[in-house]
């Protein structure tokens, strides 16, 4: 097993990891700028996915060259994050919307009108 890698592999790995980290940093600044929960919930979901892809692809590139075989099972991490982040965001938003409606907040949309007419 060769413990060193070519300079271009190190440069590519560094670029991918730094890109992922900068994406996460920019997303955290955007998160601090907005005021309400409903505005704050969207950016972290996107940033977590993009930032994780950058770091994971850097890991895949570096590990593949160090071990001299494809290291693709690390790609499962961002796939799971890409699948679970939107679901988590939706559930958190619905729970917050429910609580805001229970509190009587005026800045949230009203609940959908229930109809007894099944199909139109």
Give the start-to-end residue ranges of the domains of the chain: 7-103
pTM for the structure as a whole: 0.72
Cβ neighbors of 107 (< 8 A, separation 6 or more) are: 36, 100
Q: Using N-to-C axis directions, what is the helix angle for 7-33 and 42-67, rounded to 10°? A: 170
Average pLDDT, the chain: 84
Q: Is 68 left (phi over 0), alpha (psi -120 to 50) or beta?
A: left
Asked if pLDDT for residue 25 goes beyond 90, the answer is no
Asked if pLDDT for residue 98 goes beyond 70, the answer is yes
Q: Based on the number of CB atoms within 10 Å of its own CB, is 75 exposed (0-12), middle (13-18) or buried (19 or more)?
A: middle
Asked if pLDDT for residue 58 goes beyond 90, the answer is yes
pLDDT of residue 60: 92
Q: Give the separation between CA 47 and CA 33, rounded to whole angstroms.
A: 15
């Amino acid at each position: 097993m060769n413990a060193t890698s070519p300079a271009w592999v190190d440069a590519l790995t560094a670029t991918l990891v730094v890109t992922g980290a900068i994406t996460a940093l920019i997303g955290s600044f955007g998160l601090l700028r907005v005021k309400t929960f409903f505005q704050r919930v969207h950016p972290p979901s996107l940033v977590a996915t993009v930032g994780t892809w950058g770091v994971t692809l850097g890991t895949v590139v570096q590990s593949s060259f160090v071990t001299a075989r494809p290291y693709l099972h690390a790609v499962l991490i961002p796939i799971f994050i890409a699948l679970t982040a939107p679901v988590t965001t939706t559930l958190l938003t619905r729970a917050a919307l429910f609580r805001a409606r229970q509190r009587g907040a005026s800045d949230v949309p009203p609940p959908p009108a229930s109809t007894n007419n099944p199909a139109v």
